């Protein structure tokens, strides 16, 4: 997802890494000013206490310790004062350390939480078409690794800012003690600045690549885990492991390169102050020998320079984090800056019962990563009267599922209009379509949560009575009552503890509890036996207090299609014919060939289970052997 820039642009980006990093830090400070100010104040207290501690120690040495050694004794009063002063400095320093760490951690974690919430809201706001173009693994990496990389700099930053006080106090004391030695010691600062400039030049592209590879690893891992059943059933564990290993190795190489750069940078940051101290000692020895300075001045400057080395290292930590901060911010802000949006109007959903649907000259095309358009629907014209059940039938790839997503406005058509009760779906207010309609998609998703929360999705408007009513209409109440804790039973991840038919009925109940006036079923009853399916469709009127429901069902089985009032037959993205099941069997060769395919297969020995037979997942729903015998005859 990271575009490679040309040489000139890459150079400009590297040179401006520090400035861009400082801008990001400024954004964070403006968003958490109070806590960050506390962190800086506590760090300044620590810095002043540490630098002042050296000065206090020197004064106590001159006024208390040195006279005591000369006199051979020390008074209890002087000893008590010395201990209290040193203890006071130590307590102030400790308070500064604890306060700085707590406030810095809060600043970093609050910013991370803020931007994870912002990203989540943005993911939910962006239309489904945008999500089709962005792998889920990359989006997870944005919300996790990229956010953490952006704001991790705030952990060392308050310390680096606060210890500037220490640097100033120590620098003044060094120059006052001996200007030549003080300036000699401070010559380390330009070298630190130069080293960090070189470091950022090489570290920024290395971190950029590592962040991009981390997103690729997340994407591959997400796909493999999502398709765990497919991978295992087809014995492709080794190939998936190898595919993951390739991306993991690329991430390893990127991380190792970044680690090597940091490993080279950190020792140099440690070495520069040490070399400065050795230089001060060499120059100091020369000045002492020439009578221009005394030994105490040399010791004081060398000690203070060693004290300055620590704030220099903390600044190095911040500068070392800045390339990661810039990369994380660019990847995060790129998502937040996305402007893809679905237009809405002020119109309220029309009150009443079942919804009338009008589809006029609708076309839709998918766009791949290369920008190529693949049109899957062409000039669809369709009207559904309120309370009717329409079956969408067609071969694979004919556009049935796409039309289903258009009806509930998960996506908008590239051309044409869809009206619900005479109102263009684009004119309805946000949430208006969701109040009118519900979609039960092909892939049934069940959360690792209780049955109640899987049905309500945390919506507190629905009571337990509402949940049981929806479960009853979906013919899921029977198996739910036999679960260990009823609707409070926590089912496994993706409903691993349930059969395919049970998961589908749970998904149906999730839609039905909202009392939709338009229900779209995208092959949502394929794992449910026909008798139960017929009972579900017949009981849909109960979901709206007696008001009828308009149903659009995508179906393949003859038993399902026969339950519909009308059938629309799609072929190559167009409605090839429309009528009753019996009418289309007579006049549409493509339709007849498609829906009688099961019959042809059944003529072969060992053919597949026919559409009128129980599916296996729902044998537990049959009351007894007589029901099974009756269904087998049918």
Reported as a pLDDT band with limits 50, 70 and 90, residue 626 is very low
Domain count, the chain: 2
Do 322 and 431 reside in the same domain of the chain? Answer: no
Do 322 and 390 reside in the same domain of the chain? Answer: no
DSSP for 100-130?
A: HHHHHHHHHHHHHHHHHHHHHHHHHHS-HHH
Q: Report pLDDT digits (tens) over 174-223.
A: 777 677 777 777 777 677 667 766 776 777 677 777 767 777 787 777 67
Reported as a pLDDT band with limits 50, 70 and 90, residue 602 is very low
The token duo for 193 is: 């600045």
The token duo for 197 is: 């400039």
Q: Tell me whether residue 169 is in a domain.
A: yes
Do 393 and 524 reside in the same domain of the chain? Answer: yes
Q: Strand locations in 401-537, DSSP E? A: 415-420, 423-424, 437-440, 518-522
Q: Is the pLDDT of residue 275 over 80?
A: no
Backbone angles phi, psi at 129, to 5 degrees: -60, -40
pTM: 0.64
Do 157 and 261 reside in the same domain of the chain? Answer: yes
Q: Is 450 helix (H, G, I), strand (E, B) or coil?
A: strand
Q: Strand locations in 270-421, DSSP E? A: 357-367, 373-384, 389-393, 415-420
Do 492 and 613 reside in the same domain of the chain? Answer: yes
Instruction: Report the alpha-carbon distance of residue 102 to residue 91 in Å, rounded.
Output: 16
CB 320 within 8 A of CB 204: no
Instruction: Report the alpha-carbon distance of residue 165 to residue 172 in Å, rounded.
Output: 11
Q: Which of 195-204, 281-290, 588-597 has the highest mean pLDDT?
A: 588-597
In CATH, what number is assigned to the domain containing residue 503?
3.40.50.300
Q: Tell me whether residue 365 is in a domain.
A: no
Distance set, CA 554 to CA 144, 194, 214, 529, 542 (Å): 38, 67, 39, 16, 22
Of residues 133 and 154, the one with the higher pLDDT is 154
DSSP one-letter code for 574: E
Do 202 and 262 reside in the same domain of the chain? Answer: yes
Q: Which of 47, 45, 41, 147 is nearest to 104 (CA)?
A: 41
Q: Report pLDDT digits (tens) over 421-447.
A: 989 999 999 888 888 888 888 777 888
Q: Is the pLDDT of residue 611 over 50?
A: no
Do 475 and 547 reside in the same domain of the chain? Answer: yes
Instruction: Report the alpha-carbon distance of residue 185 to residue 6 in Å, rounded.
Output: 41
Instruction: Report the alpha-carbon distance of residue 441 to residue 508 in Å, rounded.
Output: 10
pLDDT of residue 128: 81
Reported as a pLDDT band with limits 50, 70 and 90, residue 293 is low
Partners of residue 440 on adjacent β-strands: 521
pLDDT of residue 598: 58
Place of tokens 């209290």: 84
- Strands 389-393 and 518-522: what pairing? unpaired
Q: Report pLDDT digits (tens) over 374-415.
A: 888 988 999 999 988 899 998 888 888 889 999 999 888 889
Q: Report pLDDT digits (tens) over 472-501.
A: 888 888 888 888 888 888 887 766 778 878
Q: Is the pLDDT of residue 307 over 90?
A: no
What integer best gives the mean pLDDT of the chain?
77
pLDDT of residue 620: 41
Q: Tell me whether residue 478 is in a domain.
A: yes
Do 398 and 310 reside in the same domain of the chain? Answer: no
Q: Tell me whether residue 457 is in a domain.
A: yes
Percent of the chain scored above 70 by pLDDT?
74
In CATH, what number is assigned to the domain containing residue 315?
1.20.1560.10
Instruction: Report the alpha-carbon distance of residue 199 to residue 296 in Å, rounded.
Output: 37
pLDDT of residue 184: 76
* Secondary element (H or E) of residue 267: helix 237-289
Burial of 85 (0-12, 13-18, 19+ CB in 10 A): middle
Do 279 and 213 reside in the same domain of the chain? Answer: yes
pLDDT of residue 569: 92
Q: Tell me whether residue 622 is in a domain.
A: yes
Q: Which of 168-177, 381-390, 535-544 has the highest mean pLDDT?
A: 381-390
Containing domain of residue 122, as a range? 18-336
pLDDT of residue 253: 87
The token duo for 410 is: 């998960």
Domain boundary among 311, 336, 361: 336
DSSP one-letter code for 490: B
Reported as a pLDDT band with limits 50, 70 and 90, residue 570 is very high
Q: Is the pLDDT of residue 65 over 50?
A: yes
Q: Report pLDDT digits (tens) over 217-230.
A: 877 776 777 677 67
Do 38 and 103 reside in the same domain of the chain? Answer: yes
Q: Comparing 221-235, 506-520, 549-563, which segment has the lowest mean pLDDT?
A: 221-235
The token duo for 581 is: 């099941």
DSSP one-letter code for 65: I
Mean pLDDT along residues 84-104: 83
Mean pLDDT along residues 49-67: 64
pLDDT of residue 298: 67
pLDDT of residue 160: 78
pLDDT of residue 85: 77
Reported as a pLDDT band with limits 50, 70 and 90, residue 295 is low
Q: Report pLDDT digits (tens) over 12-29.
A: 454 577 788 888 999 999
Sheet holding 423-424, edge to edge: 373-384, 357-367, 415-420, 423-424
Reported as a pLDDT band with limits 50, 70 and 90, residue 418 is very high
Q: Tell me whether residue 376 is in a domain.
A: no
Burial of 453 (0-12, 13-18, 19+ CB in 10 A): middle
Q: Report pLDDT digits (tens) over 335-363.
A: 898 887 788 889 888 887 888 999 999 99
Mean pLDDT along residues 265-285: 75
Reported as a pLDDT band with limits 50, 70 and 90, residue 617 is very low
Half-sphere exposure of 135 (CA within 13 A, CB side): 18
Instruction: Report the alpha-carbon distance of residue 147 to residue 141 in Å, rounded.
Output: 9
Domain boundary among 301, 319, 336: 336
Q: Is the pLDDT of residue 88 over 60?
A: yes
Place of tokens 């990369």: 327
Kindly report the CA angle at 505 between 499 and 507, in degrees rounded to 5?
105
pLDDT of residue 419: 92
Which residues have a Cβ under 8 Å from the Cβ of 211 and sit 6 or more positions away?
A: 2, 141, 145, 146, 149, 324, 327, 328, 331
Partners of residue 522 on adjacent β-strands: 554
Q: Tell me whether residue 367 is in a domain.
A: no
Domain boundary among 336, 365, 397: 336
Q: Is the pLDDT of residue 527 over 80?
A: no
Q: Is the pLDDT of residue 117 over 90?
A: yes
Write down how long the chain is. Answer: 634
Of residues 317 and 619, the one with the higher pLDDT is 317
Q: Which of 84-98, 199-213, 301-315 has the highest mean pLDDT?
A: 84-98
Place of tokens 């005394």: 294
Q: Tell me whether residue 241 is in a domain.
A: yes
Q: Is the pLDDT of residue 589 over 80?
A: yes
Distance set, CA 235 to CA 192, 436, 514 (Å): 56, 44, 41
pLDDT of residue 610: 38
The token duo for 245 is: 């290993």
Q: Which of 410, 504, 405 is nearest to 454 (CA)?
A: 504
Of residues 89 and 297, the one with the higher pLDDT is 89
Instruction: Report the alpha-carbon distance of residue 472 to residue 540 in Å, rounded.
Output: 10
Reported as a pLDDT band with limits 50, 70 and 90, residue 420 is very high
Q: What is the 3-state secondary structure (H, E, C) of 24-40?
A: HHHHHHHHCHHHHHHHH
pLDDT of residue 175: 74
């Amino acid at each position: 997802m990271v575009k490679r820039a040309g040489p000139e642009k890459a150079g400009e980006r590297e040179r401006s890494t520090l400035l861009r990093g400082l801008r990001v830090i400024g954004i964070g400070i403006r968003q958490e000013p109070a806590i960050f100010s506390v962190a800086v104040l506590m760090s300044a207290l620590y810095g002043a206490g540490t630098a002042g501690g050296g000065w206090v120690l020197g004064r106590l040495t001159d006024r208390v310790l040195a006279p005591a050694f000369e006199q051979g004794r020390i008074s209890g009063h002087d000893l008590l004062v010395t201990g209290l002063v040193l203890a006071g400095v130590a307590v102030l320093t400790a308070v500064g350390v604890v306060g700085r760490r707590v406030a810095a951690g809060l600043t970093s974690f609050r910013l991370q939480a803020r931007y994870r919430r912002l990203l989540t809201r943005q993911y939910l706001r962006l239309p489904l078409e945008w999500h089709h173009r962005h792998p889920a693994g990359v989006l997870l990496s944005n919300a996790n690794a990229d956010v953490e990389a952006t704001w991790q700099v705030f952990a060392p930053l308050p310390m680096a800012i606060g210890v500037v006080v220490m640097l100033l106090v120590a620098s003044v004391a060094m120059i006052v003690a001996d200007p030549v030695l003080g300036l000699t010691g401070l010559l380390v600062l330009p070298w630190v600045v130069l080293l960090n400039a070189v470091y950022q030049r090489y570290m920024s592209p290395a971190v950029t690549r590592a962040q991009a590879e981390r997103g690729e690893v997340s994407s591959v891992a997400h796909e493999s885990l999502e398709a765990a059943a497919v991978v295992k059933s087809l014995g492709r564990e080794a190939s998936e492991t190898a595919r993951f290993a390739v991306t993991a190795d690329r991430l390893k190489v990127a991380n190792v390169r970044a680690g090597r750069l940091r490993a080279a940078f950190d020792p140099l940051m440690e070495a520069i102050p040490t070399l400065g101290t050795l230089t001060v000692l060499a120059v100091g020895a020369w000045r002492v020998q020439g009578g221009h300075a005394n030994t105490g001045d040399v010791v004081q400057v060398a000690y203070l320079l060693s004290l300055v080395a620590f704030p220099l290292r903390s600044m190095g930590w911040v500068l070392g984090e800045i390339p990661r901060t810039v990369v994380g911010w660019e990847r995060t802000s790129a998502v937040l800056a996305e402007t893809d949006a679905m237009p809405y109007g002020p119109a309220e959903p029309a009150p009443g019962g079942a919804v009338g649907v009008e589809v006029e000259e609708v076309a839709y095309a998918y766009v791949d990563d290369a920008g190529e358009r693949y049109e899957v629907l062409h000039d669809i014209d369709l009207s559904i009267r309120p309370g009717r059940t329409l079956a969408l039938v067609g071969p694979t790839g004919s556009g049935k599922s796409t039309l289903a997503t258009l009806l509930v406005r998960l996506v908008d058509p590239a051309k044409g209009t869809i009206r619900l009760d005479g109102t263009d779906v684009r004119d309805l207010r946000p949430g208006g379509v969701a109040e009118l309609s519900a979609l039960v998609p092909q892939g049934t998703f069940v959360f690792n949560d209780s049955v109640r929360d899987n049905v309500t999705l945390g919506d507190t408007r629905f009571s337990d009575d509402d949940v049981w009513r929806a479960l009853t209409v979906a013919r899921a109440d029977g198996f739910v009552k036999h679960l260990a804790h009823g609707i409070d039973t926590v089912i496994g991840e993706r409903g691993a503890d349930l059969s395919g038919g049970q998961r589908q009925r749970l998904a149906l109940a999730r839609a039905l509890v909202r009392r939709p006036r338009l229900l779209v079923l995208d092959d949502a009853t394929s794992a449910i036996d026909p008798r139960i399916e017929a009972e579900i469709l017949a009981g849909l009127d109960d979901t709206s207090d007696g008001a009828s429901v308009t149903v659009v069902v995508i179906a393949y089985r003859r038993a399902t299609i026969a339950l519909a009032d009308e059938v629309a037959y799609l072929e190559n993205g167009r409605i090839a014919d429309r009528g009753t099941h019996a009418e289309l069997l007579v006049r549409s060769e493509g339709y007849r060939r498609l829906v009688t395919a099961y019959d042809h297969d059944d003529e072969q020995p060992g053919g597949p289970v026919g559409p009128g037979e129980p599916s296996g997942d729902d044998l537990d729903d049959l009351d007894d052997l007589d029901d099974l015998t009756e269904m087998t005859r049918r």
